[in-house]
Amino acid sequence: MTSNAYQGSGGFAGRWGHFAPELLMASIGAVIVLGLRPVYGPLSLTVSLGLVAFVLASWLMMRRHDRGLCEHCLTSMPLNPSEMAARYRRRFWVSHTGAERRYVIPYLIVLIGSNFATSPAGRVGWAVVQTSMIYLILAYSTHRRLQPWCPWCRENGGGGEHGRDPVTPDPVPGNRRQLI
């Protein structure tokens, strides 16, 4: 049965993992709104903690989703992936450059440090820095979906960790062994 190939992609957890990038982006949006217009009173702590818990859970679900094969991803595969890849070159570049350690650490410092900016101008700067995370997640999720068509992955040995043939790209980024 093919259902084994889709293990982990069905059900609530699978759906959550599949939509995790969107959920994470929405959560960051909520964090920004809360940061600019804080909620006071007994609810504030509950809301903040709930949001943190939700972000962490979504992150874990996304990692789980990205390790396997997802039927929602298969059905939502674009018909013209190479055209899409050409259009999203900047996102590919961001997801590769953003993963380099020399950028990750300064970025994290800015990300955490911006929380201490309490002046009105500082809060705007903080919101901008937080918004950059939304773009990073967007770049990561686009890259994951269109990885076989990513020019940077092809340069690094034709398909990176999965050793894909660069001439006939695997339409599904992920573990193709599960299909056979």
3-state secondary structure of 159: coil
DSSP 5: G
Cβ 148 to Zn ion shortest distance, Å: 9
> Measured from the CB atom, is 15 or 123 closer to Zn ion?
15
When computed from its CA atoms, the radius of gyration of the chain, rounded to whole angstroms, is 19
> Measured from the CB atom, is 32 or 73 closer to Zn ion?
73
Instruction: Find out whether 151 and 131 touch, Cβ atoms under 8 Å.
Output: no
- Of 60, 62, 81, nearest to 22 by C-alpha is 62
> Measured from the CB atom, is 35 or 93 closer to Zn ion?
93
Q: Which two tokens stand for residue 21?
A: 């990038």
> Measured from the CB atom, is 32 or 174 closer to Zn ion?
174
Residues whose CB falls within 8 Å of the CB of residue 4, separated by 6 or more in sequence, listed in order: 178
Cβ 71 to Zn ion shortest distance, Å: 8
Cβ 75 to Zn ion shortest distance, Å: 9
> Measured from the CB atom, is 44 or 156 closer to Zn ion?
156
- Of 172, 137, 107, nearest to 27 by C-alpha is 137
| Contact set with Zn ion (CB under 5 A) | 18, 70, 72-73, 150, 152-153
Cβ 107 to Zn ion shortest distance, Å: 19
Place of tokens 């950059």: 132
Cβ 26 to Zn ion shortest distance, Å: 17
How many angstroms from the chain centroid is the CA of residue 17?
10
